[in-house]
């Protein structure tokens, strides 16, 4: 019998479950189950669907793995979403997700009352409508009867941990994306929530914030029955998706990871807090006791999906077309579903410089550039904040499988782009945490031991700043300040 740990990635789109051998970190098995589809501006999911998907994926992976003993589980997942529970621990309503932009009005009013500078100083970030704080305010304003039943607020990964253990627990990485937690002082900012309702005992309604090596508990008998395991498994703190991904990739200070998923994300890791006075960089906590400067855009791989549909091409064909384009042609401000960075929740996409000579190849390239350039702009904000970017560039996520994504990124940065032998980096990072906590090994030490191999997937071919400069002009990102919109 092989002793294994389980890493879970409960994302917007699906739940992925991966088993890794405890002794050496080799992958044993994995499975995926879909979540209900969502589309901004109103983006909500029933947390019970997450649990059902997790149970289904876990059982499928267990059947694939054969004779194994699951010793520990860690859940990483989509950030910011609000899971409201009543006094009996039951879900009151569907969870509002990170990409639900209907809460922007509440966020604007809270930001005005608290002050943008104070928010950045206390939370490390200038919250957008993605942050949980705005969801709680929306709940109070729009559903007062349901809000009156509110007893506990959890985040998406917290909910699975709760179903596994019965404990209300979270971690620094997830808490620092709420808008009411200080990741430097490791404490909740209850005064932010008091602005929503000063009569509530907010401290009693929030999960315990566990340290990186914290333990939420062990699996309950009910959870064990649903999962099909006979022995209790330790459940560690878990964390946010990109935070777990950083751990699974084994990144070091100076590395820059570009994640091309439902959203687009660029992140790195630092030992010290990062505070961006202009509010573009989120200075959230990581899973090792440090920090994970991060810029997130709302429009990732779905932009490429949309252009593939409009052009009647599959993804391989669209990528090939983009790589055949020259240096001229239209540029895309890819704000198709609004945008998070820059914070324009009501925006739509803008395709500029169309002419009668525009080709299919140029349109395809514009789609990829719209996604890539938004994150390249994010990296420039890192550099402005003094974050090191002199390490390797790593591309992950579904759209990173496209040669066009990788090549355009390499050309935009003038640096090689690496792929990593870790197709499910989030689940892998969660498993690293679970194994480290179970074996009482320092997390960074085990992450280095389990670090996956990297390979160069694209070298810069035609480095040029003109197309990015034109993108910045069309997207108007060069004139942004902390204003909302």
- Asked if residue 351 has pLDDT above 90, the reply is yes
By C-alpha distance, which of 452, 445, 446 is closest to 72? Answer: 446
Question: Given this model, what pLDDT does residue 479 score?
Answer: 37
The average confidence (pLDDT) of the chain is: 95
SS3 assignment, position 387: coil
State CA 45 to chain mean position distance: 16
Mean pLDDT value across residues 169-194 = 97
- From CA 99, how far away is CA 306, in angstroms rounded? 17
Mean pLDDT value across residues 86-112 = 96
Residue 270 lies in a domain: no
CATH number, position 87: 3.30.420.40
**pLDDT tens string 440-449:** 999 999 999 9
Percentage of the chain beyond pLDDT 70 is 98
Mean pLDDT value across residues 383-405 = 95
What would the two tokens of residue 456 be? 């160069």
Within a 10 A sphere around the Cβ of 315, how many other Cβ atoms? 16
CB 79 within 8 A of CB 296: no
Q: Helices in 357-424 by DSSP H: which ranges?
A: 360-384, 403-413
Radius of gyration, alpha carbons of the chain: 22
- Say if residue 242 is exposed, middle or buried (CB neighbours under 10 Å; 0-12, 13-18, 19+): buried
Q: Helices in 27-87 by DSSP H: which ranges?
A: 47-65
By C-alpha distance, which of 368, 349, 470 is closest to 409? Answer: 368
Catalytic (active-site) positions = 241
Q: How confident is the model at residue 379 (pLDDT cuts 50, 70, 90)?
A: very high
Question: Given this model, what pLDDT does residue 408 score?
Answer: 97
By C-alpha distance, which of 445, 98, 484 is closest to 294? Answer: 98
Question: Given this model, what pLDDT does residue 478 score?
Answer: 61
Mean pLDDT value across residues 124-142 = 96
Name, in order, each residue with C-beta under 8 angstroms of 358's C-beta and a sequence gap of 6 or more: 329, 330
Residue 361 lies in a domain: no
Question: Given this model, what pLDDT does residue 484 score?
Answer: 35
Residue 416 lies in a domain: no
The position carrying tokens 């009668």 is 356
By C-alpha distance, which of 390, 309, 303 is closest to 351? Answer: 303
Helix (H) or strand (E) segment spanning residue 324? none
Question: Given this model, what pLDDT does residue 485 score?
Answer: 35
Residue 143 lies in a domain: yes
Residue 351 lies in a domain: no
Residue 262 lies in a domain: no
Q: Which domain holds residue 140?
A: 2-241
- Say if residue 185 is exposed, middle or buried (CB neighbours under 10 Å; 0-12, 13-18, 19+): exposed
**Residues 371, 94, 160, 340, Cα dihedral to 10°:** 20
Residue 354 lies in a domain: no
- From CA 444, how far away is CA 288, in angstroms rounded? 7
State the total domains in the chain: 1
Residue 87 lies in a domain: yes
Residue with the bigger pLDDT between 190 and 261: it is: 190
The pTM for the full model equals 0.90
**pLDDT tens string 230-262:** 999 999 999 999 999 999 999 999 999 999 988
Question: Given this model, what pLDDT does residue 414 score?
Answer: 95
Question: Given this model, what pLDDT does residue 367 score?
Answer: 97
SS3 assignment, position 262: coil
């Amino acid at each position: 019998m092989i002793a294994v740990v389980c890493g879970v990635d409960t994302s917007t789109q699906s739940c992925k479950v991966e088993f890794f051998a405890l002794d050496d970190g080799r992958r044993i098995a994995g499975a995926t189950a879909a979540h209900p589809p969502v589309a901004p501006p109103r983006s909500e999911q029933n947390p019970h669907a997450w649990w059902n998907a997790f149970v289904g994926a876990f059982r499928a992976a267990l059947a694939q793995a054969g004779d194994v003993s699951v010793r520990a589980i860690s859940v990483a997942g989509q950030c910011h979403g609000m899971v409201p529970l009543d006094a009996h621990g039951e879900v009151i309503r569907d969870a509002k997700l990170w990409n639900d932009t209907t809460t922007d009005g509440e966020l604007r009013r809270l930001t005005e009352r608290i002050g943008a500078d104070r928010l950045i100083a206390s939370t490390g970030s200038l919250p957008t409508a993605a942050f949980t704080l705005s969801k709680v305010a929306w709940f109070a304003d729009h559903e007062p009867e349901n809000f009156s039943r509110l007893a506990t607020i959890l985040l998406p990964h917290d909910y699975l941990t709760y179903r596994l253990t019965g404990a209300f627990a979270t971690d620094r990485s997830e808490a620092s994306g709420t808008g009411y937690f200080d990741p430097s002082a490791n404490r909740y900012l209850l005064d932010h929530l008091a602005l929503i309702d000063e009569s509530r005992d907010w401290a009693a309604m929030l999960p315990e914030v566990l340290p990186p090596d914290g333990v939420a508990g062990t699996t309950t008998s009910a959870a064990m029955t649903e999962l099909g395991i006979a022995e209790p498994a330790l459940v560690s703190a878990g964390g946010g998706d990109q935070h777990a991904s950083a751990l699974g990739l084994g990144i070091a200070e100076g590395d820059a990871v570009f994640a091309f998923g439902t959203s687009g994300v660029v992140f790195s890791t630092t030992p010290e807090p990062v505070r961006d006075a202009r509010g573009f960089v989120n200075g959230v906590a990581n899973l090792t006791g440090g920090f994970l400067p991060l810029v997130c855009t709302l429009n990732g791989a779905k932009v490429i999906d949309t252009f593939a549909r409009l052009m009647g091409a599959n993804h391989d064909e669209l990528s090939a077309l983009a790589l055949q384009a020259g240096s001229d042609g239209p540029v895309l401000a890819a704000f198709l579903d609004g945008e998070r960075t820059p914070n324009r929740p009501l925006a739509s996409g803008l395709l500029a410089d169309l002419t009668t000579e525009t080709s299919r190849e140029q349109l395809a390239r514009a789609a990829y550039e719209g996604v890539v350039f938004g994150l390249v702009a994010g990296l420039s904000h890192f550099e402005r904040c003094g974050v090191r970017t002199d390490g390797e560039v790593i591309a992950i996520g579904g759209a990173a499988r496209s040669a066009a994504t990788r090549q355009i990124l390499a050309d935009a940065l003038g640096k090689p782009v690496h792929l990593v032998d870790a197709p499910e980096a989030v689940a892998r990072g969660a498993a690293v945490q679970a194994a480290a906590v179970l074996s009482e090994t320092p997390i960074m030490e085990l992450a280095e031991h389990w670090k996956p191999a990297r390979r160069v997937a694209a070298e810069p071919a035609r480095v040029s700043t003109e197309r990015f400069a034109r993108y910045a002009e069309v997207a108007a990102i060069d004139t942004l300040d902390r204003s909302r919109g």
